[in-house]
Amino acid sequence: MKKEKYNVTGMTCGACSARVEKAVKKLPGTEDVQVNLLTGSMLLKRDEDLISTEEIEKAVEKAGYEATLESKESKGLSEGRKSVAGDGPYDNRNSDALEKSRDEGIGSIHRKEAKRKGRNFKWSLLFLLPLMYFSMGPMMGHMFGSIFGVEIDLPTGSELANTFSQFILLLPILYLNREYFVKGIPVLFRGNPNMDSLIALGSAVSTAYGIYGMYAMIYGEVGHHIYFESAGMILTLITMGKYLEARSKGKTTDAIERLMNLAPKMVLVEKDGVEKEIPLENLRVGDVMVIKPGHVIGADGVVLSGESWVEQSAITGESVPVPKKAGDEVISATMNQNSFLKVRAEKVGEDSTINQIIALVNEASASKAPIAQMADKIAGIFVPAVILIALITFGIWVIATGDVSMAVNCGISVLVISCPCALGLATPVAIMVGTGKGAEEGILIRGGEALERLHSVDAVLMDKTGTITEGKPKVTDIVAIRLSEGELLETAAALEQGSEHPLGAAILYHRNERQPGGELPDVEDFHAYFGKGVKGRILGRMVYGGNRALIDDMGLRIDEAVAGKIREFAKEGKTPMIFADDEGVLGIISVADVAKPDSEKAIELFEKSGVEVVMLTGDNKVTGEAVARNLGIDRVVAEVMPQDKEAEIRKMMELGKKVAMIGDGINDGPALARADVGIAIGAGTDVAIESADVVLINNRLTDAFAAFKLSKAVITNIKENLFWAFIYNVILIPVAAGALYPLWGVVLNPMMGAAAMSLSSFCVVMNSLRLRLFKRPEAIYLENSGSGDYNINLKGEGDISRDLNEDGDPVQEGHFSEEKISSEEKPFSRDVQKEEDRMKYELNVKGMMCGNCVKHVDKALSAMDGVKSVDVDLEKGMATVEADKEISRDEFKAVIEEAGYELV
């Protein structure tokens, strides 16, 4: 089955979209037909062997509308590639192109419609005011006279002249609003009446009865009610409502247009040593893009040369620019900041990240939620039912009272007060605003069906590696025994620089983070033992590094204190790496795949919302349970293969659970596809993203909870819209038919009916726009929980009298020191660590944007009295300061603010 999208024109209300959907669903070879009134689009799956595109278009045409297959070139918002505005001397985004994109987008259609309706409304109002004067002048004079206690006579001429004046003033109003007749009458005769038909009938009957009354006056009959003012007021008020509705609809697509406006129009490429600017759509895989400072990157690619900072917050949500150098990947629609880059294009056109995001959001906007099915069914029979009710109302009042004027009044009121539009808009507007808001938050939801399923989820299964955890090992603890911590790390890093093992790479990375740029001692006689570790001669001493098996093979003794520490790390799911020389153990460095900074908070939020959290992992049971224990997860399914993950989800679904699966890897694909809702971490593989219903661009687990809350907000909004649409029609149609007349003598004027109708769909749209105010729950944001740095002394056994502390002084016999590494996953903390007479501060500095900012902060902090070392990390927005004296927060704040930044 081939998935296709058609643009459908001519639809004006829920009855129209329901009719188109019904016509296409009848065709053999079509499935999952969804017609969206708001976007004027139709999504479906087509069996190419059973039905052609032309047959689908003819079926829509037969129903009274027009459908055209959306071409591949315009698919998914590739218009966004042609268009975007920017400012600044280096910006390669073009404002003319922005106007073009707006002319092609959904938002532009609504803006144009609003402009046209606004113009028609103003001119209609200009003629309506004198029309109302002639119609109601004497009554208004009497009313104002009663208020002010004087007699006011508003002359309107003779009755016949007055009536004829009303008729003359009505004609331009009829002409300005002729589209209701042009669209509504033909479909009425084809047996497919819509909302335009109701408006056309109501105003036409009012006009016709008014003309009849006018001619009756000419021939001497009096007492006929003239409905010219009702016809004019109906059309004017309906147009006003359509104007307000169109304006509001235009705002629903703001999020999509902001995404479209991120991509550049032109890109600078280098071919055969010559630079040339070409349209973005002409860029091909393998082309070398030259990205100047301030330019937007046109396609996903790999940096070939140059170093710079890239602002990619619009795509990834990162608050500060990211450093890029040769070999690093860059993302389309992100901005190069301060230096030249040469980038080889890898994903262009529809394959680029920005266009995939836009296509997902567009697809979601065009989809429907299952909750809308009942509304669609009602909308399909609504207009014929209303016409029938109007005829019955007219007949009953004529028979019951013999008053044709009153019967006409009630019949017209029924026609103009009913509103199928509100039913048709209840779901698509909410979905469009909700998915657009999700995209702004880095949450891509594929459609209304996924939204509806997500809000009812009561169990979330999470993959461990890369989803709950970072997916790469990091140093977590350093236990120094016969060397200082710094010396142990230096020795271990020197030994591991010859290793290709990821655990060794983690130690080397940690050392370079602490002491960037420092040279490591050379290693001689290096040898790796598969599955055990490595050895090598450093500064004349043979050093061993690896697991317990390696140390045992080397014939070295491990006393009980060290062995106990190794067992403790293993129970915590960490991998202890033992470093020793021929005289004994030098220390232990533990490495683990640490949890992401927000994983614990995400899990806590799900559980507080009554959602069961289960961790799935192919890792061993000990490691899995240790991670789960640290994060507060009660249930772990460990040592599972990809098919086992899928089976576990199926088992929970058979128990009646609504299951969401969160994963990032290829092995998560089957599970993501099986779950009621598959949620892929955006930094994961293409397979995971293709299998998922929700994609988290920002790679934050808390975004999964934000998606859950957003889905609840959208579904609640849809229910509110549907309730309003139903209750409005259920209550007001009987009122318009005169149900209150026997009790209180109240008859609804058609003008009031038109006013109510014009505001009903406007209210639905405005209610949906409240979703733009959706905020991620405050609890999602990481709290200032501290880094957890600490130093402890653990009583050990055996003679370790030659142990030295960090200052080179002997450590007391029977003791060794341990450093627990602060988790870099807690970037919003300010911690103070005291080591003997040395203070360590971690400061969160806001406002740093580039390498020059780092230099300014480093220079300012280094000049402070007592400061011994400063390490500024731009990516984390952190400055680590070591000092030999205590420094207050106010002192740090004053220095940082003087440098032009902010201490948070």
Catalytic residues: 463
Ramachandran category for residue 71: left, alpha or beta (phi over 0 → left; psi -120 to 50 → alpha): beta
* Furthest-apart CA atoms within the chain: distance in Å: 127
DSSP for 353-380 reads HHHHHHHHHHHHHT---GGGHHHHHHHH
H-helix or E-strand containing 429?
Answer: helix 420-440
CA dist 665 and 734 (Å) reads 58
Of 750, 546, 741, nearest to 135 by C-alpha is 750
CA dist 525 and 781 (Å) reads 50
Instruction: State the DSSP code for 262.
Output: T
Give CA torsion, residues 851, 853, 854, 858, to 10 deg. Answer: 140
Contacts of the segment 312-320: beta carbons below 8 A, 24+ positions apart:
314/262, 315/262, 315/353, 315/354, 315/357, 315/697, 316/442, 316/682, 316/697, 316/698, 316/699, 317/442, 317/697, 317/698, 317/700, 318/698, 319/877, 320/848, 320/849, 320/874, 320/875, 320/877
Q: What is the β-pairing status of strands 659-663 and 459-463?
A: parallel
Amino acid at 851: G
111 vs 68, 94, 106, 362, 525, CA distance in Å? 22, 21, 9, 18, 74
Residues in the chain: 904
Cβ distance 464 to 619 under 8 Å?
yes
- Other CB atoms closer than 10 Å to residue 326's CB: what's the count? 12
Amino acid at 820: K
H-helix or E-strand containing 341?
Answer: strand 341-347
- Other CB atoms closer than 10 Å to residue 74's CB: what's the count? 13
Ramachandran category for residue 761: left, alpha or beta (phi over 0 → left; psi -120 to 50 → alpha): alpha
**227 contacts: CB under 8 Å, gap ≥ 6:** 205, 206, 207, 209, 210, 213, 408, 409, 412, 750
Q: Which two tokens stand for residue 321?
A: 């620019």
- Other CB atoms closer than 10 Å to residue 358's CB: what's the count? 27
CA dist 322 and 510 (Å) reads 19
DSSP for 201-256 reads HHHHHHHHHHHHHHHHHHTT---PPP-HHHHHHHHHHHHHHHHHHHHHHHHHTHHH
**606 contacts: CB under 8 Å, gap ≥ 6:** 460, 613, 704, 705, 708
Cβ distance 488 to 578 under 8 Å?
no
CA dist 824 and 14 (Å) reads 53
Of 419, 432, 449, 378, nearest to 40 by C-alpha is 432
Cβ distance 13 to 196 under 8 Å?
yes
First to last CA, the chain: 55
**115 contacts: CB under 8 Å, gap ≥ 6:** none
CA dist 578 and 550 (Å) reads 9
